[in-house]
Amino acid sequence: MADRDFAGKTAIVTGAASGIGAAIAAELAARGATVIASDMDADGLDQLVADITAAGGTAHARVADVSEPAAMEALVTFAGDKGGALHMAVNNAGIGGPQVPIGEYPLDGWRQVMGVNLDGVFYGMRYQIPAMLAAGGGSIVNISSILGEVGRRAAAPYTATKHAINGMTKVAALEYSSKGIRINCVSPGFIATPILTKNLPQEEIDKLAALHPIGRIGTSEEVSALVCFLLSDRASFITGSVHMVDGGYIAQ
């Protein structure tokens, strides 16, 4: 039986319909949290909620565009209505964008990646933090990437947003740690999410695996384990930091 250390707490997870977000939502629910699962994929959210409910957990779906501030404000209000208060949040929603060099990058593509990846995290914290202050404290994990530490060709906006998320997380932690809110980043390497495994041939996945000293790509559950640790009281002295779950990628 899973540890029920999140019983009585409410958590928002964005980008929860599949992959890393779905794994985080499922683990939070298994550990007793009321999960507010958000995504643009309504069908995926419905399946997630059904799976969590069948396993004995509690989850509620909310379709929301993280790049719209009103949608993020409404998501926090929804969490309060369903769970009574907001105690935890995982700002996970993100997109990759076109794979194009900077000198050719489509302007609308730049704005879309910025809107989802960076604005979405800012809008999330902008409304999550006041709700957590009202609840007496809480914990936030923002999902960054190994590309928050290094560069990658043809991924300028994605890389820029992940570097920015790391910095914004540190600022938020400095501002709110003394007020009972811990804020950290988790930076995955290449993870075996449906987006990756369904869109790349095995030979390309093998090439990505070879980039990691551990010799493989990671799983969503390995990311979830770190995220849920940081959200928990076991991480009570950890804030303002960026944590790799990357099979040694950044250590090279």
Return the number of other C-beta atoms located less than 10 Å from residue 218's C-beta: 21
E runs forming strands in 158-223: 181-188
Whether 2 shows a pLDDT value over 90: the answer reads: no
Specify whether the CB–CB gap between 95 and 66 falls below 8 A: no
Residue 249 has pLDDT above 80, yes or no: yes
pLDDT in tens, 66-95: 999 999 999 999 999 999 999 999 999 999
* Structure-block tokens of residue 229: 């640790």
Question: Domain for residue 125, yes or no?
Answer: yes
pLDDT digits (tens, 9 = 90+) for 14-55: 999 999 999 999 999 999 999 999 999 999 999 999 999 999
- Please state, in angstroms and as integers, the Cα–Cα distance from residue 93 to each residue in 6, 53, 141, 212, following that order: 22, 22, 12, 24
Set 105, 123, 127, 158: catalytic member: 158
Is-catalytic flag, 158? Answer: yes
Any domain includes 4: no
**Predicted confidence band at 199 (pLDDT cuts at 50, 70, 90)?**
confident
Type of residue found at 88:
M
Q: Is 18 within the bounds of a domain?
A: yes
Does residue 252 form part of some domain?
no
For residue 86, the enclosing domain spans 10-246
Count of domains in the chain? 1
Residue 208 forms part of a structural domain: yes
Within a domain: 77: yes
